[in-house]
Amino acid sequence: MRAGSAAAAAAAAVSAAASLATGLCMKTAGGDRSACAQRAAAQRPAPSSPVRRSARPPASAPIRSRLANNSRIVGLLAQLEKINTESAESDTARYVTSKILHLAQSQEKTRREMTAKGSTGMEVLLTTLENTKDLQTTLNILNILVELVSAGGGRRASFLVGKGGSQILLQLLVNASKESPPHEELMVQIHSILAKIGPKDKKFGVKARINGALNITLNLVKQNLQNHRLVLPCLQLLRVYSANSVNSVSLGKNGVVELMFKIIGPFSKKNSSLMKVALDTLAALLKSKTNARRAVDRGYVQVLLTIYIDWHRHDNRHRNMLIRKGILQSLKSVTNIKLGRKAFIDANGMKVLYNTSQECLAVRTLDPLVNTSSLIMRKCFPKNRLPLPTIKSSFHFQLPVVPVTGPVAQLYNLPPEVDDVVDESDDNDDIDLEAETENENEDDPDENFKNDDIETDINKLKPQQEPGRTIEELKMYEHLFPELVDDFQGYDLISREPKPFVFEGKVRGPIVVPTAGEEASGSSGSSRRGAAVQENVSPRGEEGDRKPASMDVAKEDTKDSGRTLQPPLGDESRTVSSTHGLNNDIVKALDRITLQNMPSPAAPGVKKDYNLPLTVLTCTKVCPHVATCGNVLFEGRTVQFGKLCCAGVETEDDEDTESNSSVEQASVELPDGPTLHDSDLYIEIVKNTKSVPEYSEVAYPDYFGHIPPPFKEPILERPYGVQRTKIAQDIERLIHQSDIIDRVVYDLDNPNYTVPEEGDILKFNSKFESGNLRKVIQIRKNEYDLILNSDINSNHYHQWFYFEVSGMRPGVAYRFNIINCEKSNSQFNYGMQPLMYSVQEALNARPWWIRMGTDICYYKNHFSRSSVAAGGQKGKSYYTITFTVNFPHKDDVCYFAYHYPYTYSTLQMHLQKLEAAHNPQQIYFRKDVLCETLSGNSCPLVTITAMPESNYYEHICQFRNRPYIFLSARVHPGETNASWVMKGTLEYLMSNNPTAQSLRESYIFKIVPMLNPDGVINGNHRCSLSGEDLNRQWQSPNPDLHPTIYHAKGLLQYLAAVKRLPLVYCDYHGHSRKKNVFMYGCSIKETVWHTNENASSCDVVEDMGYRTLPKILSHIAPAFCMSSCSFVVEKSKESTARVVVWREIGVQRSYTMESTLCGCDQGKYKGLQIGTRELEEMGAKFCVGLLRLKRLTSPLEYNLPSSLLDFENDLIESSCKVTSPTTYVLDEDEPRFLEEVDYSAESNDELDIELTENVGDYEPSAHEEALSDSELSRTHLP
């Protein structure tokens, strides 16, 4: 017997305990204790326990984990053990097991002792159960097991499974079934215990099938349908069997589905528990496609709906909610297949569930029914094609070279007759893609996982500088580095006399003056030699008297087209003569509106108020139908502005009507320093911006400019039930089709469409730089479906939007649904709002984008992508962003955007303003052209540093030996926040701040502020005109298809070739799924650690310096979050700038800096949506961080004790914590909502669509925090 020695030891323990209790036994070395045991036992009342006859255990018997010495259960188990070994009489076993049962039923202590770690009690019981022939003993033991697992939850059930309980009980079931008829009580107990432990045994389904238990249980149910006491545990076990798909099909062939429908039925107050279990079993069975088809063929979908209606009507007190939910779960299972969905529609299921769920809304406790009904209806909503002729972009750009492979090649090779909008088969038959909770993809933090995307090859992880191009090829970049050869002899520098030169630790070793080549000249034609052309703009920008060129009709005798959306373009009704086309008051008002005339930021906490006391203009005259305010820009093209308003500019004070034409201007403070916005200059720059659609219109926000609003914008609270309300309104489209207008009101694909003339229809437009809106369909009177344009030369990447709306009425709630988004989740579900810009507000001296919209949510809809668009996968759904807006003004012109727009022309304007305003004696500023883009736009390259103190050798040497910082941004056009951060960086570097001057004296900055100008101009979300993500092309950029990446990489390769490797490379990005600002870097040890390998075992010695800059930023930048940073290298990111610059160029501090599109959940800005002020502040703080980095990396700091460096390296091994791998988990950790939020997140959903760059988060320990703080204080960081 396997437990004999253990039981003997237990018996000895009991006898010893008895001896101690009576005081008759003394401890002696090796003494015979049996007599003591007998004396102790003799004092017990008869009948005496068999324990007193037990022999002394062998001296070698192992002593198991001892329980309490006075425990009665130990003695009883020892008796039972002896009975097993001696094959004693059955009545004794029956007596002992009944005693154990009594203790198990009455004492939790007994149950705990029997399932304690190391206890052999469970083994003794199972051995007895295997060997006994006595029915009562078997029943006793089964009852004991039921008691043990019923009270202990899953742990005790797992304990029983671990002792082999599943197999023993299944064999017992088979043996008991051979009796004719089977013993009812025995069958009840066996099925009860198996139903409890089965879910804890991963192999239970296989074991049950091999033992032949499936049909035993099924036949018991068939033969005893009226015996509810026996049928109930049998159904519970059938439900467990059905978790195995093979078992489910096998049971289905033997009639289990038909059997279930004999048990379930209309409303009844009797046997509700049996009904509930039968429905749960049915729902599990119907997850099998075979069983679902069988149910559909027999008309059971209609039966389920009928039963559901009956229970819904009669369950007035909602006491049977679980039964009602069970019916819905069965419907949910059967509608996983296409036939089930069709049967559901044919049976009028949509209307049934819609009506019942609407009736349940009033009772909060019935929310599970509402949510499950919503999931079923959404799933059964017929998949529709997008109402488009093709999902490819409306615009086409012919590439100079067509890639041989990849999605662009596939797109070009598609036969013209292929319909790429939707497939005939749009069904993922047996896959339920619906999520039942918002955290479907959230991994258990304690669960071990392996992320295959983490790079594990140490050889690939080790940075290996690869020149890639010969030094001769790289000489083409010499002219972009005149600072390395310029002698500054012709410059008016601050100091003409040399000063005693001190290196201040900036340069180690001998002075080296690197040159790019003898032929490089400091006076080449492309060099501006540091001094900027002033263009008649003073450094402080005296712009108060400036008038916008496009608004000054008298200055330029030209005409303009108003953007009224009334085709054709040449229609005379759209072009008004400049001499009488613009209301004089509007002209005067616009003349006075510059970005200086704005209110100073208000105190924190000021709420949004459209009636702030800033009376800037008052106008009671009616504006003409079209406001002409442009001039001829291109050959045959005009820059057009939309109509300002059809009923005149609204006044700030409606009662102020005394003057018909007066324009009052409030006295407002001017912002400190020069503004970078210049409306005149913007119009001039737009003339030279080349777009694929040849845009001839300018959006008002880009013309007027944007300043941050003087109030905080908190993250929006999500109203309870908002998503299901929106989904219910979508379902109403199918149920009440006659209510749907379905009228196209805007269409890029049809240039001849006519805009309805009715006054209550909104008018839309997106034909301007960075605009994206393809089609608008009016669904209901105040509801519109919007479709976005895909990236050019692509058929997906729909997320960025920027469009104009006009013709609105105040006090009306307009609902906008953007119906072809692709990401599986969005921060719109977590409090982010779209942005709105009101022209009326801008005219009233409030030219800012504000967060706008209520009832916002993001969810999977009933439109489906074709397999062409989904990379061969069928049935992939689109997602909807929906939001509701109440416009503040009548007939306003408003703009909506995904994030704060920042156009290519805006960048060029800002660069020109910075160049014009800087002090050439103090700041070395150059703006070069890195290259031309595919469509012929220039990609600017900016160089910023401090001018040398003099043109003497020592100062020139110091100038040339400054380390480089290389920055880039906006490789993804939809991540406009990256440009605002870059704007903050550029403004700070060009400011008169003493810290900025110190920074310029420390570094030479090479900046590519917009890596993807074409994508930005044409309103793309992620790609360039090549249809490819440029941040996946850094390994092998094609000079014809990816010129900006090819040449940006060339600049870095050139610096590496001349031994001037940048100290830092940082690529600015935006992040749509996470909050705060954070960084991704590259580390070998942290990557290896995340592979669950032992990082210390690898022979890699790594400098921890890559953590210094993020750590500094976490101390000084309120929006920055260190805990969100990651330094793991993933295979899917091996072609990104960050990894390539680290691996190939050899820059240790190579980063991606991600800025949230939503807001912050920590620090100073916790609970607030992020704005341009915070983004620009982040750009400035990044600069401050670089100055502190300089102090930490000065020669004094290189002499740190080696023990300190070793301690830092050890931090990885002691403090790393792996979290969910974001390559597969697209959702970030967010607080739960009270309602179920169905994001339907599909894992592995297009790996490069906005996947987070990191795999896990490194959480620094308290020791590291203290170390970093001490470092900061030791180096006197400001």
Confidence of residue 48 (pLDDT cuts 50, 70, 90): very low
Question: Containing H/E element for 839?
Answer: helix 839-843
The backbone torsions φ and ψ at residue 1202, rounded to the nearest 5 degrees and listed phi first, read -65, -30
- Quote the CA–CA distance of 294 and 271 in Å, as a whole number: 26
Would you state the pLDDT for residue 1104? 83
Cross-strand partners of 784: 778, 816
Cα 520 from chain centroid? 48
For 1004-1060, what is each residue's pLDDT tens digit? 999 999 999 999 999 999 999 999 999 999 999 999 999 999 999 999 999 999 999
pLDDT of residue 28: 33
d(CA 366, CA 357): 9
This prediction's pTM: 0.74
With b meaning 16 or more CB within 10 Å and e meaning fewer, what string describes 87-118? eeeeebbbbbbbbbbebbeeeeebbebbbeee
Residue whose pair of structure tokens reads 């201040």 in the numeric block: 504
Instruction: Determine the Cα angle at 992 with ends 986 and 994, to 5°.
Output: 105
Backbone phi, psi, residue 731, to 5°:
-65, -30
Cα–Cα dist 75/69, whole Å: 10
> Which of 537 and 271 is assigned the larger pLDDT?
271
Q: Is the dihedral of CA 982, 983, 989, 994 positive or negative?
A: negative
Tens of pLDDT along 699-711?
999 999 999 999 9
**Closest among 383, 389, 387 to 426, alpha carbons compared:** 383
Half-sphere exposure of 8 (CA within 13 A, CB side): 16
Report pLDDT for 676: 82
Residue whose token pair is 């022309």: 905
**d(Cα 1138, Cα 1141) in Å, to the nearest integer?**
6
**Is there a contact between 1125 and 1217 (Cβ–Cβ < 8 Å)?**
no
> How many beta carbons lie within 10 A of that of residue 604, not counting itself?
8
Q: Name the DSSP letter for residue 469.
A: S
Q: Which residues pair with 837 in a beta bridge?
A: 895
Q: Which of 767, 745, 743 is nearest to 755 (CA)?
A: 745
Match 């669950």 to its residue by tokens.
1092
CA nearest neighbour of 285 among 305, 264, 312, 315: 264
Q: Strands of 789-865 (E only): list them.
A: 802-806, 813-821, 835-838, 850-851, 854-864
- Which tokens hold the place of 43? 């004092």
| Distance linking the first and last C-alpha atoms of the chain | 76
- Token pair recorded at residue 631: 């001039």
Concerning whether 1154 is annotated as a catalytic residue, the answer is: yes
Q: What is the pLDDT of residues 778-832, one digit of tens each?
A: 999 999 999 999 999 988 888 999 999 999 999 999 999 999 999 989 999 999 9
Number of Cβ atoms within 10 Å of the Cβ of 374: 23
Please indicate whether residue 297 or residue 675 has the higher confidence score (pLDDT). 297
- pLDDT digits 0-9 by tens, 1195-1237: 554 444 444 333 333 333 333 333 333 322 233 333 333 344 4
Q: What is the reported pLDDT for 769?
A: 97
Contact 796, 869 (CB under 8 A): yes
449-495: per-residue pLDDT in tens? Answer: 445 666 656 666 666 666 678 889 999 999 999 999 988 877 777 65
Of 1154, 1246, 1250, 1253, catalytic? 1154
Q: How far apart are CA 1254 and CA 1133, in angstroms?
A: 9
- pLDDT above 80 for 150: yes
DSSP secondary structure letters along 1048-1080: HHHHHHHHHHTT---SEEEEEEEESS--SEEEE
